[in-house]
Amino acid sequence: MDNSLKEKLLDQEEGNKGYSEKFSVDYFSDLFVNQNINEGNSLRVYLSLRQEGFLSGVNSSTKGLDSDDLDDMVKRKTKYGSNARVEKEDKSYMDFVWESLEDQMMQILIAASIVSTVIGILQEGLSTGWIEGASIFLAVVIVTGISSFQNWSKDQQFKQLDKENSKKNVKLVRDGLEIKEVDVDEIVVGDILHLAIGDISPADGILIKDSVTMDESAMTGESDLQVKVALEEKMTNKVNPFIISGTQVMDGSGKMLVLAVGPNKVSGKSDDLMEAETDETPLQTKLKDVADKIGDLGLMAAIFIGLVLILKDIIMRISLGLPIFSAELLDSFINAFIICITVIVVAIPEGLPMAVTISLAFSVSKMRDQHNLVRHLDASETMGNVNNVCTDKTGTLTMGVMTLRNFYMEGKDNSTNNELDISAEGLTSLTECITNNITAYAEKDNDKMIARGNFTEAALLQFMINQKIDYQDPNVKYPSYVRTLPFSSEYKFMCTLVQVNTNVYRLFIKGAPERVLNYCTKIRGASGKNELISKYSKDINEQQEKYASQCMRTLAIGFKEFTDKKLEGNNAEGMEFFEPLLNEITLTALFGIADAPRPEVPDSIDDCSKAGVTVRMVTGDNIKTAIAIAQDVRIISPREGNESLQRIKAVEDGDKGGLNMPSRIIALEGNEFRELSGGYIKIEDGKDKVGKIKYRYELASQEKFKKTTENLKVIARASPDDKFLLVLGLKQLNNIVAVTGDGTNDAPAMKKSDVGFAMGKRGTDIAKAASDIVLLDDSFHSIITAMKYGRNVYDCIRKFLQFQLTCNVVAVFMTLLGGVILKDSPLTSIQMLWVNLIMDSFASLALATEAPNDKLLKRKPYPKDQDIVTGTMKINIGAQSCFQIIILTFIIFYGDLMFGVPSDRELDHFTWNNSNGYHFTIFFNIFVFLQVFNSVNARKLLRSEVNVFEGIFNNYLYLMIQGIIIVGQIAMVQFGGRALRTHALSLNQHLGCLAIASLSLVIGLLVKLLPIGIDEHTEGPPGFSISKSIRGRKSVDSSRVRSSKSIKF
């Protein structure tokens, strides 16, 4: 493949057979092979054809394609392929069935059913001997069928999530429009694609306008950034026009001719980027450890039960003088073996990981409906532990609709709601400065022209649209663009250089006043002429403070005109090209751009405070603007706002003490924050697989950082590095941190955080790729939703765990008791498989899908080191287990007398018939109904939650599953017969079983009312203590004692 392009190209040039068709799929495929690009083969092809040759070769032009020409679109897709993802073949339900049957326990039970059937037929004949073996096989089929259905359903949910993740619009030159948004799947070869900072290229192509800097590490493994240019004179082997799909635009902007799409593009050949996330979450891993420990105990109990059953049978045969080796003994061995396997199946709580999966899938589905697109499942559960949220302002705390409210020009402050008070020449100059240095564009929406693109720029463009200013007039809109320096958070401004005529150039600049004003020496003054800016310094400062106090972002624009002599010898790129030109700028205007707070945000911030979560705003705004907005949305109180302003004034007056200020540090600018916190250091941390040095980052001084951030809630004029430092430091202080971001430079902080939120509407591709959750509405309120669902996931798993551990303990103990004291286990293998189905599949569906409520936001987050099993849960599990064991043991020894049925205590595996078995059927019935009522208890975790029925009718799935269990249990008892070793019971007997089992609710209530001080505080490991008070008074916090002997799961 490496030399095929070069060889075929030579053949083509010499008239020999190279490619079957010059501009074929194979031709373009070879063109973008990384080795051919690096060796210059691809560039030789480009220079032989030039840009025009490629455009004509794919029947395109710089004006783009026509969407209405359906025949052309079909031909392009037929010849070059579609950019739509090729979806993998869905796994069928039967595929999951076969996977379930690969479980070793299921295989053993199938083998046991075959052996049991053979022995049964040999002993009892074909008419009845097959029943028990067939019953075991039927139980395996039912268990396998239900678990396979759950896994299939989960797979379908993940596929749906994957589809949501892959949805995306791109900007093309189409249908005569300079910018038209279309679905990424609709891109075809020949399209002209717009690329901007943060975009990930969705296709292979060549750059035909401007220049961009690409990060190709995801596709080529090369960590160095690659410069792509459209001008031939600047091309080398290292600097070329070839843009590979899957690579990211880190700087610049441009237009690209699409040449390869779908499976024919580079990323299409090995594109696993959008696979559904199937890795285990941290909670699943932790619960698997719990399951392994319980499984080990179950294995030991099963071995012990098996040995007891076998030895007891051998001893009895010896004492009765019966031959030891016989078919009956073999049947006893098989029966003991089946019971052992069943105990293991019951004891191993495989439902724990299943419960996490179901709960997460349920949460992901519901969160999607509430504007949270979860990309990584573990983020859903991690949000339950978050105690710090570092958020952007624009679009998250605010509406995200920027409006130009005021602007200062020619010595006057103009409100855009009133008639403008500026000269005609001033309006022309203002229009020039905006329209020639902007990336926003206008689009018709319901017969209205609406500005789209960057939110700040859209505000300026919308102002011109509303004022009916002809911003496309060739007298103000210069067509000859020379260079553009895109906005960057590093230098906080944007520049565009245009050619006005043969020798004259004009540089336009737009950005943060504190940066732009450094380059300005003149201003368009009250006279309408250019005057020295020093004359207006006081007015400019007053206007900035006025705009800031009214929650407006300030923006400065200006220009500079010069001859081509200043460009001689300047062959640099990016900022290095513009730096020599950034002087003697004339300030044209100062803008005040407003973005109103979202109406729901203040209440959401209050919810965070009640939930023990600190919200910190990180913004690029002026610090006074940031303080005003933070106060508006209640991140800081009016008192804290005043303290912050006092501190700023003191610093302005010369006090640079920072941390020595009498007031707490509530708000800082980015540079102050870096200085006072000590920053971070970069430390070598070994080497990666290819031998490159790896680095880790640590705080330079934890003490300084802790002192600086103790009360810090606002960072203004912040750079991405400031956000990274904040996240890094908070995590090193053992906080769990969520971060919002919308730009490319936010990616490091989002990656470093525990949960990264990207903005769905205005977030770049890189920000979304670095995120865990995408906020589809860009609203802070959606973060609260994610927090609520995250906490709910933990609670659901704890509810399930509380139920299953109780059921496990009781089932294993009763089987052990039967093996030691009785001639046979009171629960047969079939019955225990039914119990296992209740414990795992049914319970995980019922308890893991409880909907969240607002009470979840009225307690503090879970700490990282908190046990899964809390103190309250340990008491509940212990009390319910003891109660059930006592009740069931009583039923074994006295249940026959209570219900007036023959005793089954002397019944062994061989003598079951139609006249006995009622006793243990009642035992089985009570056992199952105890689990039904205990699942109601398990719905509530805290002692304060006395009413276990609260909200039960809001969970229809729970009610449905409980109904299935009760109906299924009654059907098994009434119609199971010999296959299930049950006898039909009367209505009174069923009611008696229900009445006894319902006592579980009474025990649950009594446990919560007992004078037991249980430590449910979430800031440390839970424990409990018995209150010394015997008068029933409430134990106070000071009397709580942590148990040093609590079992750790």
- Cα separation of 644 and 662, whole Å? 11
User: Please, are residues 433 and 510 in contact by the beta-carbon 8 Å criterion?
Assistant: yes
Pairwise CA distance, residues 701 & 1042, whole Å: 33
DSSP state of 156: H
Tokens of residue 381, six digits: 């559960």
Between CA 336 and CA 340, with CA 911 as vertex, the angle to 5 degrees is 10
Q: What angle do CA 886, 887, 888 make, to 5 degrees?
A: 95
Label residue 659 left, alpha or beta by phi (over 0 means left) and psi (-120 to 50 means alpha): alpha
DSSP 398: B
φ/ψ (deg, to 5) at 206: -115, 140
- Find how far residue 945's CA is from the centre of its chain: 31
Using CA atoms, how far apart are residues 227 and 244, in angstroms rounded to an integer? 12
Nearest alpha-carbon partner for 852 in 777, 790, 929, 772? 790
Is residue 713 within 8 A of residue 733, CB to CB? The reply is no
In order, the DSSP letters of 700-736 are: S-HHHHHHHHSS--EEES--HHHHHHHHHHHHHTT--
Residue matched to tokens 């505000």:
459
Rounded-to-integer distance, Cα 454 and Cα 171, Å: 13
User: How far apart are alpha carbons 805 and 931 in whole angstroms?
Assistant: 11
- Which alpha helices (DSSP H) does 91-130 contain, by range? 93-101, 104-124, 126-129
Q: How far is CA 513 from CA 491, 577, 906, in A?
A: 11, 21, 93
Q: What gap in Å lies between CA 188 and CA 190, rounded to an integer?
A: 6
- In this structure, what token pair is assigned to residue 775? 């906020």
Within its chain, how far is the Cα of 755 from the centroid? 7
Proportion of the chain in helix, strand, coil states, percent, rounded to 5: 50, 15, 30
Nearest to 629 by CA among 543, 708, 544, 552: 552
DSSP helix/strand/coil, 555: strand
- Cβ atoms 790, 939 nearer than 8 A: no
Give the 3-state secondary structure of residue 488: coil
Distance, in Å, from the CA atom of 705 to the CA atom of 721, rounded to the nearest integer, reads 15
DSSP class of residue 915 equals: T
Neighbours of 1028 (CB within 10 A): 9
* Catalytic one of 210, 313, 392, 896: 392
Instruction: Judge whether 183 counts as a catalytic residue.
Output: no
In this structure, what token pair is assigned to residue 151?
């896994």
Neighbours of 60 (CB within 10 A): 22
**Strand ranges (DSSP E) for 564-627?**
585-594, 614-618
Q: What spatial distance separates the first Cα and last Cα of the chain, rounded to whole Å?
A: 55
Could you tell me which residues are beta bridge partners of residue 505?
Answer: 499, 562
Distance CA 631, CA 642 (A): 10
d(CA 506, CA 433): 10
Among 349, 331, 339, 118, smallest CA distance to 831 is for 339
Contact (Cβ atoms closer than 8 angstroms) between residue 805 and residue 937: no
Catalytic residue numbers, as ranges? 392
